[in-house]
Amino acid sequence: MYWLSYLVIAIILGGLYAAQKTHFSFTQIVLIQILLIFMVVNIPGLGDPRIKNTVIWQLAGRPIYVYHFSRYYTFLTMMFIHGDFMHLIGNGLVLFFIGTALEDRIGKKKIVIIYFTAGLLATFSHYIVVWGGTTLSLGASGAIFGIMGAIFILYPRDKIPMFLGPIFMPSVRVDLSIGVLVAMQTGIAIIAPGGVAHAAHFGGFAAGMLIGKLIHKVDLDETSTVSDYSALEVFVIDEKTKEMYDNILEAEQEEVKEAWAEHLIAMSNCPKCNRPLEKYKCECGFRFK
């Protein structure tokens, strides 16, 4: 294997270690990884295109690898390499806006599960459609569509900033933005079915929706109703959280209060050490209830 391929693998593994051991968000780390890997692969390739082609050939996936039981490491490496600048920018922008929004709400551990599980299932979806094929498969699109599917299920009415094509919208409902993106993908798949792994996109989106439903069910099973809503004031740190706290106190229906409370806690860090909370508690010993 070419030495630059080993460097790319080291960047991937190093980023995964950093995601586990540091307070940086998973989304931030992945964005840094795919940008750094793009530079590692493409800058040396400016002088000799064979360098880029060699690294991509060694680290991208191919359906035939499953058929021949070989190069299973490409299920991971292919998710971090991109063929050209527009491929990188397109995935990077969606990951930045939607990935950040979802991670703020569900935390690092859950988004890691969604990202890699949906990415893996997306790849299998594509490989099943083109079983035994030799065309290279690369990019984080399948995993990113998984994140889109998860946030579509978990927080459809929340508003997030989003690019819809060339238009930047600072506040748009999740179900609207994701719906438009999926509709655009469907249109592209119909008009230009070749050249893009459409099955991976749809497979990743479906996987993200399924995982989102499972996460929602687990959260409902493992959490109980907040008994004292005034205690949530400990999470009020800015105007946004103050507005959410006021909505909780002013809501008349218990279901609405509980929904706002879960949302506030999900997006809050520990008031003692500022780490993300996990099931109403933190590694430092803080426990909300």
pLDDT recorded at residue 107? 87
HSE-up (13 A, CA, CB side) for residue 128:
10
Transcribe 84-134 into DSSP letters. Answer: SHHHHHHHHHHIIIIIHHHHHHH-HHHHHHHHHHHHHHHHHHHHHHTTT--
| Distance (Å, whole) CA 152 – CA 212 | 8
Q: Tell whether 212 and 284 lie within a shared domain.
A: no
Contact partners, residue 238, CB within 8 Å, separation at least 6: none
pLDDT < 50 stretches in the chain: 224
pLDDT recorded at residue 69? 84
- Measured at the alpha carbon of residue 137, what is the angle toward residues 133 and 142, in degrees to the nearest 5? 120
Number of domains into which the chain is organized: 2
pLDDT recorded at residue 289? 60
pLDDT recorded at residue 16? 92
Of 202, 219, 236, which marks where a domain is finished? 219
Q: Tell whether 255 and 199 lie within a shared domain.
A: no
Pairs from 51-57 (Cβ < 8 Å, separation ≥ 24): 51/2, 51/4, 54/2, 54/4, 54/5, 55/2, 55/4, 55/5, 55/8, 55/81, 56/81, 56/83, 56/136, 56/138, 57/136
Task: Give the H or E element holding residue 139.
Answer: none
Q: Tell whether 89 and 177 lie within a shared domain.
A: yes
pLDDT recorded at residue 194? 65
Q: Tell whether 266 and 211 lie within a shared domain.
A: no
To the nearest 10°, report the CA torsion of 5, 7, 8, 11: 160
Q: Tell whether 180 and 289 lie within a shared domain.
A: no
User: 226, 232 in Cβ contact below 8 A?
Assistant: yes
Q: Tell whether 162 and 236 lie within a shared domain.
A: no
Q: Report the CATH number that the domain containing residue 116 is assigned in CATH.
A: 1.20.1540.10
Of 219, 240, 255, which marks where a domain is finished? 219
pLDDT recorded at residue 190? 78
Q: Tell whether 180 and 239 lie within a shared domain.
A: no
pLDDT recorded at residue 13? 96
pLDDT recorded at residue 285? 66
| Distance (Å, whole) CA 37 – CA 40 | 5
| Distance (Å, whole) CA 98 – CA 173 | 11
Q: Tell whether 85 and 184 lie within a shared domain.
A: yes
Q: Tell whether 142 and 269 lie within a shared domain.
A: no
Task: Give the H or E element holding residue 271.
Answer: none
Q: What is the pLDDT of residues 133-149, one digit of tens each?
A: 888 899 999 999 999 99
Of 190, 219, 248, which marks where a domain is finished? 219
HSE-up (13 A, CA, CB side) for residue 168:
3
Enter the DSSP assignment of 69. Answer: T
Q: Which of 262, 167, 154 is nearest to 210 (CA)?
A: 154
Q: Tell whether 145 and 240 lie within a shared domain.
A: no
pLDDT recorded at residue 220? 57
Q: Tell whether 50 and 156 lie within a shared domain.
A: yes
Domain with 193, as residue range(s), is 3-219
Q: Tell whether 55 and 108 lie within a shared domain.
A: yes
